């Protein structure tokens, strides 16, 4: 696999940082839990609960965490597919949290998404030529023939031109994900949310698709939010990584720092499950128990029920986000730093 630069991104190196393309502050997405005969709201599932993050032009932020931690809900909220309950999200200074659906639809030209399962996200009744040029038609960006655009887009993602009249079910999983990528780049977006985009693929195919995403990013200065439960996959593409647990970002920093010097006990547990060539390691995350319910998160630090380094204070008081050597950590072990 072409491993993406494990180095501090250009944006991070600058003292005088540029304005982020995406800036998220204290974002909350809660879902009501209805109970009783009158379906009264009894509680809320706090899927995203106070998330802050930034993504700069041309960089990839990897968002990693176990299933159910809220990372997909965060992506869907940024796409306007879920309504936020609080906080702010700005894309190139446009307030995403205030946009109506039709305004969000107009932004599709600039923000795109690639989902995990291309078979369910690609219309099975549409041929590839219609799938990859649908956005161009919708936004009246067709110059020349639809066929020319489709052939060009397929070439960009490494598929042959005679594929354009075939249907999604006639392709392999990796080829279908390439079609999804062709559709996503057709409008020349600036920002793409990749939601578990390679998780359903074999390891060798994963590597090819990640290499494709990296080369497209370099060609078009794309920014990615790359969502995955697999830290080893994320580390191959991300410039920076944000680790999410039960609706909150518990640690964020450069890929180099997160992989080689994790601070938060949860990050350390995720790293311990990353396979190392030549060493036998279980791919299971070495933590006791399951991720608690997001409708009744544990008091204090949300991770204290599973944390191997738990302190007495951890169940009593929520930690405050601290900044250490340019990275942010949500943990009492570092709150005094």
Enumerate binding residues for ligand SF4 (CB under 6 A).
Answer: 264-265, 301, 303-304, 307, 309-311, 314, 319, 331-333
Our CB check for ligand SF4 shows the closer of 131 and 307 to be: 307
Give the shortest CB-318-to-ligand SF4 separation in angstroms: 8
- 221 conformational bin, left if phi > 0, alpha if psi -120 to 50, beta if neither: left
Give the shortest CB-246-to-ligand SF4 separation in angstroms: 11
Our CB check for ligand SF4 shows the closer of 191 and 334 to be: 334
Structure tokens at 126: 């549409």
Structure tokens at 238: 């991300």
Give the shortest CB-243-to-ligand SF4 separation in angstroms: 11
Give the shortest CB-267-to-ligand SF4 separation in angstroms: 9
Distances (CA, A) of 157 to 22, 75, 153, 237, 258: 26, 24, 7, 17, 30
132 phi and psi, to 5 degrees?
-80, -15
Structure tokens at 45: 């599932």
Give the shortest CB-329-to-ligand SF4 separation in angstroms: 8
Assess contact for 7 and 59: CB atoms under 8 A: no
Our CB check for ligand SF4 shows the closer of 135 and 247 to be: 247
Our CB check for ligand SF4 shows the closer of 195 and 251 to be: 251
Q: Which residues pair with 258 in a beta bridge?
A: none
Give the shortest CB-27-to-ligand SF4 separation in angstroms: 21
Our CB check for ligand SF4 shows the closer of 108 and 268 to be: 268
**Burial class, 276, CB count within 10 angstroms (exposed 0-12 / middle 13-18 / buried 19+):** exposed
Our CB check for ligand SF4 shows the closer of 133 and 267 to be: 267
How many CA atoms does the CB half-sphere of 316 hold within 13 Å?
3
Assess contact for 209 and 42: CB atoms under 8 A: no
């Amino acid at each position: 696999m072409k491993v993406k630069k494990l180095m501090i991104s250009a944006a991070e190196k600058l003292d005088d940082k540029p304005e982020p393309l995406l800036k998220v502050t204290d974002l909350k997405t809660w879902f009501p839990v209805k109970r009783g005969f009158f379906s009264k709201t009894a509680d809320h599932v706090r899927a995203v609960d106070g998330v802050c993050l930034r993504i700069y032009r041309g960089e990839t932020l990897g968002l990693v965490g176990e299933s159910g931690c809220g990372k997909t809900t965060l992506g869907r909220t940024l796409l306007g597919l879920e309504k936020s309950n609080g906080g702010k999200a700005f894309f190139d200074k446009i307030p995403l949290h205030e946009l109506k659906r039709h305004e969000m639809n107009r932004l599709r030209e600039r923000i795109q998404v690639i989902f995990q399962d291309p078979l369910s996200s690609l219309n099975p009744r549409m041929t590839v030529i219609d799938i990859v040029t649908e956005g161009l038609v919708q936004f009246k960006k067709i110059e020349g023939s639809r066929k020319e655009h489709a052939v060009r887009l397929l070439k960009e993602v490494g598929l042959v031109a005679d594929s354009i009249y075939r249907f999604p079910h006639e392709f392999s999983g990796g080829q279908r994900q390439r079609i999804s990528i062709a559709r996503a780049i057709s409008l020349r977006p600036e920002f793409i949310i990749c939601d578990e985009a390679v998780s359903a693929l074999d390891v060798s195919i994963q590597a090819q698709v990640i290499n494709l995403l990296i080369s497209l990013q370099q060609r078009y200065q794309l920014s990615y939010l790359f969502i995955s439960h697999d830290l080893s996959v994320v580390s191959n593409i991300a410039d920076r990584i944000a680790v999410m647990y039960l609706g909150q970002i518990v640690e964020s920093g450069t890929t180099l720092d997160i992989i080689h010097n994790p601070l938060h006990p949860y990050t350390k547990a995720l790293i311990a499950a990353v396979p190392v060539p030549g060493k036998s390691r279980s791919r299971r995350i070495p933590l006791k128990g399951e991720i608690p319910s997001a409708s009744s998160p544990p008091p204090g630090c949300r991770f204290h029920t599973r944390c191997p380094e738990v302190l007495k204070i951890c169940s009593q008081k929520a930690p405050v986000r601290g900044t250490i050597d340019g990275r942010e950590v949500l943990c009492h072990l570092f709150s005094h730093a």
